[in-house]
Amino acid sequence: MTKLVLYTENYFSGGLERFVFDFINSKLFDIHVIVNSENDRIIKFAILNNIKYDVVQLSNFKLHLSKNNIQYNKFVKIWNFLAYYLSMILNYFKIKKILKQLVSYKNIIIVNGGYPAALSCLVTSVASKKLGFDKVGICILSSPSPHYSTSKIFRFVQASIDDIVDKYIDFYIPNSKEIKFNLVKFMNINENKIHVVYTGVDIPKEFIPLNTLHYQDYTIEKKENESWIAMVALLGSTKRQDLLIKAMLRLDTNVKLLLVGDGPNKETLLKDVNALGLQNRVVFMGWMDNPQEVYQFADMIVFMSNQEGLPYAISEAMSYKIPIIASLVGGIPEQIVDKYGGLLVDNKDVDDLVEKINFLRNNENIRKNFIDFSFQRVKNIFSTHAMNQEILKLYK
């Protein structure tokens, strides 16, 4: 069995964690996990599944902006820019110390949410090669940072780092062709070093629709003529739950919304729901390790986002035979073939979203055609078996 170190800096629950869990569960590798000390979910997973692991306490000197002090905020922005790269240097030595004990594994996969969102992932690749690891791969599950196109200073500094780090990375593993395109365009990475591997999901052996949904201490009973929309995603700045909440105001009152996930935007979204008087139509489900019952209960999945790789929630919805509406961003068009397997929408256009939700609700035959098309597609292209086998080939 191929030995492999897996490193991730991930802080939040979501698709990256699902990838880590599914990859470890494949049992194709003898894996040793190195994880950020603030991610207790991956640590608990390793303990429960008897996976060898180490924890690294990453340095972070970031200061928070003040609401009222403009002069202080100018200082904070300069400090945070410098501290961002200072922490990178300190984290290099922390991670290298752990890796020294694991050189016998010879291979490492570094799982990164975006690029270059987690600088510790980049320094891990440098430390690994310097210590003599044979194969160093970095898995990229979201599009490159938008800072590449908006901040000239950030772009210059980061491009310099990218040029150095690239020499220590044997291959990049993005989960969509769109990310591959951006890696070449923004980072000038050699196309031959990039291997697209679609993240996969397990295909359910059977699908039984539910009219009752249990969560926490509550039970939801689906009433006659009700339609339940679900969005399964991190409650974060790149997701657009806010747009979906606004759309609810213009949909029939029999349309209800399930928001599955947790994250830094939760309080803001709760305030939005209360301010719009939607408390009885929007349910915050929290994070769910396995949202299977949500897929069995929901009548439609809507996935709104500004930035994506290849969302797990969409592939899962395809496998559970649910009609899907999703943003036209990232790798989503590689999953959903517009007007054949679902509907794609502008991620800033509430009118477009409302129109397509109503269209899908009122056209049963089209919903069935979308479901059948996408189910065949997910079975053939987006399975965990296919994903794990493709990664195994890279490390043989």
Q: What is the C-alpha radius of gyration for the chain, rounded to an integer number of angstroms?
A: 22
* Residue 172 tokens, joined: 């990049």
Kindly tell me the number of DSSP H helices and DSSP E strands found in the chain: 15, 14
pLDDT of residue 325 exceeding 70 = yes
What pLDDT is stored for residue 177 in this prediction?
A: 94
pLDDT tens by residue, 95-152: 999 999 999 999 999 998 665 556 788 899 999 999 999 999 999 887 765 545 556 7
Task: Please report, for residues 57, 86, 93, 237, the alpha-carbon distance to residue 60 in angstroms, rounded to integers and kept in the order given.
Answer: 9, 9, 14, 20
Q: Is the model more confident about 350 or about 289?
A: 350
CA 169 to chain centre: 22
pLDDT of residue 297 exceeding 80 = yes
pLDDT tens by residue, 357-395: 999 999 999 999 999 999 999 999 999 988 999 999 999
pLDDT tier at 38 (50, 70, 90 boundaries)? confident
Three-class SS state of 82: helix
Residue 176 phi, psi (nearest 5):
-155, 155
pLDDT > 70: what percent of the chain? 96
Mean pLDDT confidence for 266-288: 94
CATH topology of domain 2-196: Rossmann fold (3.40.50)
Task: Please report, for residues 59, 63, 68, 82, the alpha-carbon distance to residue 75 in angstroms, rounded to integers and kept in the order given.
Answer: 20, 10, 13, 11
pLDDT of residue 199 exceeding 60 = yes
Q: Which CATH architecture has domain 212-381?
A: 3-Layer(aba) Sandwich (3.40)
What pLDDT is stored for residue 114 in this prediction?
A: 60
What pLDDT is stored for residue 151 in this prediction?
A: 64
21-48 core/surface letters (b: 16 or more CB in 10 A; e: else): ebbbebebbebbbbbbeebebbbebbee
Range from 69-78, 202-211, 214-223, 319-328 carrying the lowest mean pLDDT: 69-78
Two domains, one topology: 2-196 and 212-381 = yes
pTM for the complete prediction?
0.85
- Cβ neighbours of residue 289 under 8 Å, at least 6 residues apart? none
pLDDT of residue 396 exceeding 90 = no
* 338 neighbors 305 (Cβ within 8 angstroms): no
pLDDT tier at 37 (50, 70, 90 boundaries)? confident
Mean pLDDT confidence for 50-64: 87
pLDDT tens by residue, 260-269: 999 899 999 9
Annotated domain spans of the chain:
2-196, 212-381
